[in-house]
Structure 1
Amino acid sequence: MKALIIDDENKARRLLEQLLIEQCTEIETILQATDLESGIKIIKSDKPDIVYLDIEMPKYSGLQILELLEGYVVDFQIIFTTAYNQYAVDAFKLSAIDYLLKPIDRKELQIATNKAMMVLNEQNINTQLQDLKKAFNQLALNKIALEIPKGVIFISHDDIVLFEADGMYTKTYLANGDTQLICKPLKHFVAQLQSLPIFYKPHRSYLINLKHIRELSKKDGHHLVMTNNKTIPISKDKRDEFMLVLREVFNT
């Protein structure tokens, strides 16, 4: 954890540094700046996690930090320090994590710092979750997650021959000859894959991958023979629609 103290008073900086060393052992690096402008440079170059910011300083007040950081992503926590409590409302309007009055109390410093670290940890977790979600979203573009008793397997859409309803379960037939029994009803997969044109439901009990059709037979009623030799009936109310699908997909 890295901290930055911005204060124009040398004595105040040294005192706060000593308190942080004694009370906040999670902070490994403590940087210092004598004014807001030099503090901004350190923020951009060293990226501290927590900034302890004095309000009353020459030229620029600590309350002007966001003005000087316009266009910069503020990913650190601000704890204001000041000898004057009339700034409290203004400080919190800038989304400061806390506000400490000088002389700084050891316990209050520890509480404020712990609060800042907690928020930072939550932000890190949220960032990690978002990155993980993006990765899985990318995976979902080409694969489907199938929950099996031993865990979850990720199967390419092209490797699925068909889904078959089995009560509240679904049998999933794969191109390699495997069959997986999934603890979800067929309608779950129909809803999940409805945006993918390669999957089609010719019958209330089946969802097929059009890429794995081997034959269309009109003998003894319309039915399909898949690449795994499984025969799939086409419902009477689906026959005209399916023939239209054939024309559009296969240009028959």
Structure 2
Amino acid sequence: MPNVIIIDDEQKARLLLRAMLTDCAPDLTVVADCDDLPSGVKAIRKLKPDLVFLDIEMPNYSGLELMDFFDPAEIDFSIIFTTAYSQYALQAFRFSAIDYLLKPLNINLLSEAVERFRSKRERDSQSLMALKFNLEQSKSKRIALPQSNGIRFIESTDFMYAKGDGAYTELFLRTGEKLLISRNLKFLETLVEGIDTLIRCHKSYLVNASFVTSYVRQDGGYVVMTDRTEVSVSPDKVEAVLRACA
């Protein structure tokens, strides 16, 4: 039976989560609940949980600072964040593939999160590090890309275009380098939302308008990039692409 630790500075929130877990996931055993991050870290080291429910907004230490107390190799447990973060910041959670629940908690969404934990049981410290970076950089134009062997940081100005292929996305940089990430194109589109020059132009493509040299109406419509690559543009995206390029 999986062991669980709850870390939240609000006693009512901890008690509510305990009660909800009893209802929707009775096989989970809550072995400790803690009111701040340092006591939570001590409990994690001592009790070796399988799953941690971790509040973000706490006095003195944010839940995101968990990584400051552990080496990446020590993160051998899953985390579900509980948060009242804005929709903008939640883009970083989606892209980093870290689970989260919005407060006030909903028992149906909690049950779904627990089911994802059961099916995956994935201990991905690289995704945690990427999450922390993307939240800290949420208003900048630098992007953290989780990869199989670590995390790659790129400037949005180095990004030329991306091509989605199912669950994977290829990113093409202005240096000629090509990166492959195991995230679909929608995740990348969500992450770069708010950067005006980066635009979804087709179901399979996202382009940086700064590298577009021309738009051609033939063959269904496409843009030509500075490296002479032709990237398809959907009819309903033409106006937005031209506006971004102007």
Highest CA radius of gyration, 1 or 2?
1
TM-score in terms of structure 2 length:
0.45
TM-score in terms of structure 1 length:
0.44
The higher-RCO structure (CA 8 Å, 6+ apart) is 2
